Structure 1
Amino acid sequence: MELSEIKTLLDNEVEARNNSAELSFDKPDPLLVASQYQDESIALICALFGYGNAGLIVQFLQSLDFSLLDASEEKIKQALSSHYYRFQNSEDVMSLFIALKRLRSEESIENIFYAGYKKEENILDGLWQFMKRLQSVYPRQTRGYSFLTGSPPKKLSASGTYKRYMMYLRWMVRKDALDMGLWSKIDKKDLLMPLDTHTFNVSRRLGLLQRRTYDMKASMELTETLRAFDETDPVKYDFALYRLGQEKLA
């Protein structure tokens, strides 16, 4: 398939998918829960737990009381004492709530990202800045918590795709029938593709991605390819590619 044909396919898919019906219990996605609250901290929780079976993700997120972000730390510990999800035990879950509660009393997540991003308009610099800040307000080192919140890589060539953070940034920065667009300081042209196995495999099959390794460099390569389709908003193709893979349509 020629690139022009792929662009037409994806543009049509973007248009068809850009409606709230794409977010339903029949088509579970963590954005379904996040969009009900329109809050950057709640959205981040939804994104960070966005791994594994989509139906189970939504089920877990619906079990959480997000008003705890404004409660005392003691209340958070009591309320979440029996909550766990896959690699995260109850202490990991409550730690994330406490960390974000402390953070929101100091600074918005958007401003923390922006402080790192603004120097070179590099979204990864913003992410590394945020990760360090999150760890500083509530230091915790366990397998479950480290998997959940991540940390800056020692070198980019050895890093994962940071898919859940890239997905969160898409939600926050872009604004359409799906993405919330709660932030205004970061330009959507600088976003990177939230690469998961569906988008990775579909992009390889369509010839959009040559890299065989599933890592951040693959995410950057795919984003660069999609900039040829829309240089101002390359990540608009993410949801379409994800659904094409998930529904085995490409």
Structure 2
Amino acid sequence: MSIKEILDREVASRNCYEEVCEDKLDPIIVARKYNDETIALVCSLFAYGNVKQIVKFLESLDYSLLEKSDREIENALQNHYYRFQTADDVVAIFKALKRLKEVTTLEELFTSKYLQTSNVIDGINAIVEKLYELYPYSSKGYTFLIGKITTKTKGAGALKRWMMWLRWMVRKDNIDLGLWNRVNKADLIIPLDTHTFNVSKRLGLLQRKTYDLQAAIELTETLKEFDKEDPLKYDFALYRLGQEKIF
């Protein structure tokens, strides 16, 4: 059986709503409850570390605060923190996203740049830049959370959490939400995490040894050989294969 046949089989078997549940946790389980682009972004940005702790933290948040005053956000989140993010960092992302919602949508902001170049990195940069502009706040934890403007691919962070959010927004199946309709699935870049990185190398899908954005792009190009219109349909299956130590 070829690698493509193995992956196509895995995609078919895992493309079911039950693949994400209390026994098979994933941050999208929280995003599903709201079906909202902004809440989904919060879920993706905090999606690092132990998945049980991620989901526990995400479920502790009151997302109605994205419509509330700064004072209400500060009072409600004063005891919320997660790994590298202090309570001030959590407050900051809620304030920044609230302000963004008041002037535009994430989809509008993303596509304002993406549609000019068909490059999703440009769209992500537009959002990152706007968040800093709307709420000028800086800390080590906050910078880790939303990142910086990305100008290179080699040696740069893989933007895994941003790319995962885009997958949720753009693809529509039994896993992904498909809330957007102006972004081409073929332009997405795989959200490369350590599980996907390692299993892809073992399967011969990725030759690059450095874990960076360039590796994510190269893996995506390889997956386009299997499906040029929807290469990221393989992402969740590859992630689970690595996570479950099947390969």
TM tier, shorter chain?
Answer: over 0.9
1:7 aligned to 2:43? no
In structure 2, stretches of 5+ residues that fail to align are: none
Alignment partners' CA distance in 2, 1:194 and 1:69? 26
Alignment partners' CA distance in 1, 2:171 and 2:71? 36
1:156 aligned to 2:153? yes
* 1:5-27 CA-partner distances (Å, limit 9, x unpaired): 00000011011111111111111
Alignment partners' CA distance in 2, 1:106 and 1:131? 15
* 1:24-71 CA-partner distances (Å, limit 9, x unpaired): 111111000001100000000000000000010000000000011111
Deviation at 1:166, TM superposition (A): 0.2
1:205 aligned to 2:209? no
Aligned residue number for residue 239 of structure 2 = 242
State the SS of the aligned residue for 1:158.
coil
* Matched residue type, 1:115: S
The alignment of Structure 1 onto Structure 2 pairs a total of residues equal to 247
Alignment partners' CA distance in 1, 2:155 and 2:204? 24
Alignment partners' CA distance in 2, 1:166 and 1:153? 13
Match of 1:95 among 92, 96, 102: 92
Alignment partners' CA distance in 2, 1:167 and 1:15? 20
Aligned residue number for residue 176 of structure 1 = 173
Alignment partners' CA distance in 1, 2:128 and 2:91? 17
Identity %: 54
CA RMSD of aligned residues (A): 0.8
1:113 aligned to 2:110? yes
1:55 aligned to 2:55? no
In structure 1, stretches of 5+ residues that fail to align are: none
Alignment partners' CA distance in 2, 1:127 and 1:42? 16
* Matched residue type, 1:209: L
Aligned residue number for residue 43 of structure 2 = 46
Aligned residue number for residue 221 of structure 1 = 218
Deviation at 1:154, TM superposition (A): 4.5
Alignment partners' CA distance in 1, 2:135 and 2:19? 36
Aligned residue number for residue 29 of structure 1 = 26
1:19 aligned to 2:16? yes
Q: Is the 8 A contact 2:196 2:238 kept in 1?
A: yes
Relative to structure 1, the CA distance from residue 185 to residue 154 in structure 2 (aligned partners, 3 Å threshold; closer, same or farther) is: closer
Q: Is the 8 A contact 2:121 2:150 kept in 1?
A: no
